Amino acid sequence: MLYSATINVMVKAARRAGRSLKRDLGEIEHLQVSLKGPANFVSLADKRAEEILYQDLAKARPGYGFIGEEGGMREGTDKSHTWIVDPLDGTTNFLHGIPQFAISIGLVREGTIIAGVIYNPANDELYIAERGKGAFLNDQRLRVAGRRQLNECVVACGLPHIGRGDHEEFRREMTAIQDRVAGLRRFGAASLDLAFVAAGRLDGYWERNLQSWDIAAGMLMVREAGGTVSDINTPGDALVTGDVVCGNEFVHGELVKILRK
Ligand code: 2AM
Ligand code: CA
Ligand code: CA
Ligand code: CA
């Protein structure tokens, strides 16, 4: 595959940060884990990976703005382009040695996501999406699954975290969906849940209260694989509300019907 220069910059940065995460995975006991908020862990691994991503991306595109989970907002001189970066999505999995975590890099131009890279260094799966050009996993073009019977579908969700979201509402939604699908999953890394929908491994996924860095790259991945992604509640922008639902057009529609009741 021939990707654009911007994608190549993102892939190089993700792979370098990925090497850092892999090194740190081998010495979890030295990572100085702390809590940023209820059930929101951060470690040296998150911070080191973000520093690498910031350095590489800022060097290649000096004017672009940068929003990273651990570094906050850094404005650029180019007001139309912003990197949206999660240096380690799935920190809880990472700290438990569960190999379901990823680096997620999205590029937004004037409010539209135009490029996304999601990289899981544990299994070397690299997902790439570019607006209008498709989505790829290790250079293979991706297409969402085609199932049209909800009772044949495997759907993933995210659980509301301690101190966030409406836990009762979630239990109602989860029960309603669980009763209709072939299987329900909870993997714990939002970027990879979206990537799995793009890859046709999952038929659908929904989660509330996410942040832009969790989903910017993944939302584009699903769209470029032919899927439908939206805000759960309204036709609003999930990138802004953090409440995301996706699948093929049919599965998305069915999930929305259940979740909006
Ligand atoms: P993180 O590992 O980068 O924090 C899993 O449901 C998703 O929620 C992950 O993408 C995870 O990203 C995020 N997450 C984990 N703990 C969280 C918390 N306490 N509040 C908000 N988001 C959280
Ligand atoms: Ca976090
Ligand atoms: Ca995250
Ligand atoms: Ca993170």
User: ipTM of the predicted structure?
Assistant: 0.98
- pLDDT at 234 (0 to 100): 85
pLDDT band (50, 70, 90) for residue 189: very high
Nearest atom of ligand 1 to the alpha carbon of 92: 2
- The pairing of strands 40-42 and 34-37 is antiparallel
Same domain? For 155 and 136 the reply is: no
Q: Could you say which of 90, 115, 141 is where a domain stops?
A: 141
Domain extent, residue 33, equals 5-141
Q: How far is the CA of 49 from the centre of ligand 4 (A)?
A: 10
- Identify the residues whose C-beta falls under 6 Å from ligand 1: 38-40, 69, 86, 89-92, 158, 161, 164, 188-190, 207, 214
Q: What is the mean pLDDT of residues 220-249?
A: 96
- Do residues 176 and 168 touch, judged by C-beta distance below 8 A? no
- Do residues 133 and 183 touch, judged by C-beta distance below 8 A? no
What is the Cα 249 distance to its own chain's centre?
20
Number of domains in the chain: 2
Same domain? For 9 and 137 the reply is: yes
pLDDT band (50, 70, 90) for residue 39: confident
CATH code at 59? Answer: 3.30.540.10
- The pairing of strands 228-231 and 72-74 is unpaired
- Degrees to nearest 5, angle at CA 147 with 143 and 151: 145
Closest CA to 198 of 107, 121, 116, 92: 116
Q: Mind listing the pLDDT tens digit for each residue in 57-91?
A: 999 999 999 999 999 789 999 999 999 999 999 99
Q: Could you say which of 112, 141, 170 is where a domain stops?
A: 141
Q: Could you say which of 82, 116, 141 is where a domain stops?
A: 141
